Amino acid sequence: MSFFKVGLRAVLAGSGIVVLLLVWANWPASQLPKGTRADRLVVSKSQRTLTVWKHDKVLVVYPVSLGGQPVGAKSTEGDQRTPEGAYRISQHKADSTCYRALRISYPSAQQVARSKSEQKSPGGNIMIHGLKNGWGWLGRCHRWLDWTAGCVAVTNSEMDRLWQAVPDGSVVELRP
């Protein structure tokens, strides 16, 4: 067998693996039924999950990526940590640097006061969002790393479902 044929087979095999990986990465995940309205989101940082609730019923659980330093509560701007505590969805943000975003009401008045006393900024712009614009093709592969600056990231298709199901004012619990 010639060197060319061996090389061609290797390229074809590698291309096939890449195609299969991209199909898996973008295969549709659990669906929220159409017209569903959630009232609470619970993010478990240790389990890397976002659970969507309506009353006392779990509707769906999505795996997530977090801030680059996920252990511990956010304390200052730039610490790469995802906050912990109870907040609310304060805005649906369509013009985000990531695919759609649900803004979380972080920081609380207490967190602002604590940071001010330490002469630091608590940070802000904490959101649940899809992938960076232009990178949606990564799909589920984004979960292999905690890559956000402190936000909670899901796939773009999961973000589409959350966008429709989660109204402003919904409770968001960010747990260790």
pLDDT in tens for each of the 176 residues of the chain? 565 555 656 555 556 565 555 555 556 666 777 788 999 999 999 999 999 999 999 999 999 999 999 999 998 899 999 999 999 999 999 998 999 999 999 999 888 888 888 888 888 899 999 999 998 888 888 888 999 999 999 999 999 999 999 999 999 999 99
DSSP letter, residue 83: P
CB 174 within 8 A of CB 83: yes
CA separation for the pair 39, 144 (Å, rounded): 29
CATH class as words, domain 3-175:
mainly beta
Which secondary structure element, helix H or strand E, spans residue 63, and what is its range? Answer: strand 57-63
Output the pTM of the full model: 0.83
Residue type, 125: N
